[in-house]
Structure 1
């Protein structure tokens, strides 16, 4: 009797079979996309307009039937409510399945296919996020406005993301490890090593996101669970070898592939590698060079990036002296390398708690730089008319995105910018901005996304 025959004739207990049926249904339902947007993305694919966003949709899916509008529903345990619904459906389905299928000895064949599903789902999912770290765009390098924001005015999630983003080479290394896990999961002979690497990496991310109120705790748990399905099959053998220190020969069941199935299997593997490794690498490289993913795409006004002190501020031609308590006068301002202008005012702003994620295309929707930032700093995206020296600004802070300002600018020397125009109250304003020579303690990174 071969080792494969031993597996196929092994008799499972009743409880093992019931547990497997429920587990099988649970992960199949979890893996199937129930979101119409996922399918719309497939039918909208065009080779000429193909970009990383289209492929990323396939990687990051998690099932969502309902959403609980509470803090726990966003960051906490209540965000897993959809999984509880799926588990209930799987449990009912498993019991019905048990009633109509009582004579089966085991589920060796379906167990193989469940592991195959888990390998590919976890592998493809982690590849998508691995690339956004390898080309460090998931957690961008801190902007000038952020570097001049008081630490107390940053949310825990923002602090953690900036901590990683401030060391892009480390972020790239973590992305390499995630990509390695994704590649190893594509091959059944190396799937054990891939699942160990995946569970270790994603398990850590789950804890970190709960600790810092992060947003990707749901998806990281999702991939870690699929990794555990792959890993669980070899746990008894690993326990026998590493804990009991006994000679161990792992027994794995593989189907007897026909020639047509072997060709199909190789074709699926080739397509997976060609799309989610080859094509994804090319698209992410293009994104890294020309489109910084979460940071604005458009270049800022040339030779203006930096932190500025507001040395003179007038409203209706009346000089307003500096005071940190004044609710009208700007305290400071910043120009980024990209088309973002910020100024600090002693008025509270609504904090964007969404983390600035997603795959936005328009600069007005790219809010990572302002997400999780309090302290009265206003963020504006702008278009510069360099012929007439006019800045057209639009507020990015929620819920003030409808606010638009127009300023005429004068470059009075290499480090002075003078702005004139009207404020949100239609009062005439005149501001003199002088660039500070203050150097940030955080050194400029040699690895940054975007071409500015």
Structure 2
């Protein structure tokens, strides 16, 4: 398509009447959920995901099954956009056959699309520049057998162990976004967007990861970028390959009125303020409330990896047996309030079961943060715990929902213990508090059936820990744990998310 010609050919006009509506529809929010969220955000007390969800314009009309070959069904929504665009194109053709060209409208369409790409990939970049999208592996993940991870979990953790590379990946998403905001650098921004986001598409497809449709969202930006690049591909080839003198296409609307010039300035100022605030709140999230890993500090003198030296069930000693489906084999206490144990049972989990109050995923509730347990098979179980440090008692809930009715009563945590534990909603730095966090906790279904345990702990210096209490079946257990200092080949991360004093 050569939009600078005075008279377009019939097929060019027909193509434009379909492609322009298609790319505009792909660039603007069309679902009620987006508008509900936008008008519900408390901008005086925002969460970083509030900013992210505004720039996450991903119209989903149909939610296909995530199963099957690469989750290709996720792309069905592109087809729906195209179908609507074809209908618009047919009607448009019937009503407007005599126009010579759509040069100016084409320029405005490009403007909408490149701004859409810019705000999207800039928003995409912050969760990598502040490494929270792929956190450093938890202690339990570091000692989990390699074969117990799915392919995508292996990839995400291989990025998590090199946070500075993750930062670089985020910067390489930020840079093209900034370039796309300016018409003179838009072509280079589109080239970089295609290069970076196409890599993400192939990585996710290569690891057969369909959950969340990340390859669809990344591919969406590649598609929009190709629309921006289309008229410049020949010019770029002439410049870089043939080394010929080349002039830019100048495919941007003329800002020939005071109103348009001022509007351009105001939009850029607004976006600059928006993304500065976005970055600041993502920094707070990184420091105090990582959106994928729990933020509440765990009991400090319990943290570490432990061998199970002694295990008694209902006062009966169970000797070590790697094939035992009841006796614990090893235990970890994370820096945050997660406790894990391993038993010889087939086990696979994809989620901890939780969604934010905005219905966009990633609940602020530690119990529902599922990254540390997603994509992990084998017999390791993960429990979130509430610690009564006055009475040295842990109240544990499995991160996986229970299929059977709950055998513990609703008031399984006594009022006195709850007072010592405090409100888990506010056990983070006040700077990271947000209205969204309050809403997520209010939405939490506390009556949801989960395996529970109540364990008293005693230790002098953390080298040996004795746990006594009741397990998920209300059987009495007595466990002696011996701390093991395991030296990892990996160096410790220099920029870990969260603050766990």
Same fold (TM over 0.5): yes
Give CA-to-partner distance per residue, 1:84-134, whole Å, 9 cap, x none: 111122112212211211112222111111111111111111111201000
Quote the residue 1:71 is aligned against. 67
1:37 partnered with 2:33: yes
Q: How many residues align?
A: 445
Quote the residue 1:17 is aligned against. 13
Paired residue for 1:422, among 449, 470, 474? Answer: 470
Quote the residue 1:194 is aligned against. 189
Q: Is the 8 A contact 1:72 1:79 kept in 2?
A: no
Closer, same or farther: CA 219–355 of 1 in aligned 2, 3 Å: farther
Quote the residue 1:272 is aligned against. 271
Q: Is the 8 A contact 1:350 1:397 kept in 2?
A: no
Quote the residue 1:130 is aligned against. 125
Question: How much does 1:256 deviate?
Answer: 4.1
Closer, same or farther: CA 439–355 of 1 in aligned 2, 3 Å: farther
Moved more, 345-354 or 182-191: 345-354
Give CA-to-partner distance per residue, 1:233-268, whole Å, 9 cap, x none: 311222333344432222314324210121112111
Quote the residue 1:439 is aligned against. 487
Give CA-to-partner distance per residue, 1:258-316, whole Å, 9 cap, x none: 101211121111101110x2111111111111111210010011132211111100001
TM-score normalized by the length of structure 2: 0.85
Paired residue for 1:362, among 357, 362, 365? Answer: 365
Give CA-to-partner distance per residue, 1:327-372, whole Å, 9 cap, x none: 1100111000011000011112232169999331000111100000
Question: How much does 1:23 deviate?
Answer: 1.0
Moved more, 277-286 or 363-372: 277-286
SS at match of 2:111: helix
Matches within 5 A, 1:113-124: 113-124=108-119
Matches within 5 A, 1:8-407: 10-72=6-68, 75-214=70-209, 215=212, 216-253=214-251, 254-275=253-274, 277-352=275-350, 358-399=361-402, 402-407=450-455
Counterparts of 1:383 and 1:353 in 2: how far apart (Å)?
A: 20
Q: Is the 8 A contact 2:65 2:73 kept in 1?
A: no
Moved more, 233-242 or 207-216: 233-242
Q: RMSD across aligned C-alpha pairs, in angstroms?
A: 1.9
Q: Is the 8 A contact 1:406 1:421 kept in 2?
A: yes
Moved more, 283-292 or 362-371: 283-292
TM-score normalized by the length of structure 1: 0.94
Q: Is the 8 A contact 1:339 1:382 kept in 2?
A: yes
Question: How much does 1:9 deviate?
Answer: 5.2
SS at match of 2:301: coil
Counterparts of 2:234 and 2:4 in 1: how far apart (Å)?
A: 18
Closer, same or farther: CA 218–179 of 1 in aligned 2, 3 Å: same
SS at match of 1:71: coil
Question: How much does 1:176 deviate?
Answer: 1.0
Give CA-to-partner distance per residue, 1:175-203, whole Å, 9 cap, x none: 11111111111111111111111110000
Quote the residue 2:461 is aligned against. 413
Quote the residue 1:3 is aligned against. none
Counterparts of 1:48 and 1:314 in 2: how far apart (Å)?
A: 53
SS at match of 1:312: strand
Structure 1: runs of 5 or more not aligned: 1-5
Q: Is the 8 A contact 2:294 2:337 kept in 1?
A: yes
SS at match of 2:179: helix
Question: How much does 1:397 deviate?
Answer: 2.0
SS at match of 1:387: coil
Counterparts of 2:4 and 2:12 in 1: how far apart (Å)?
A: 15
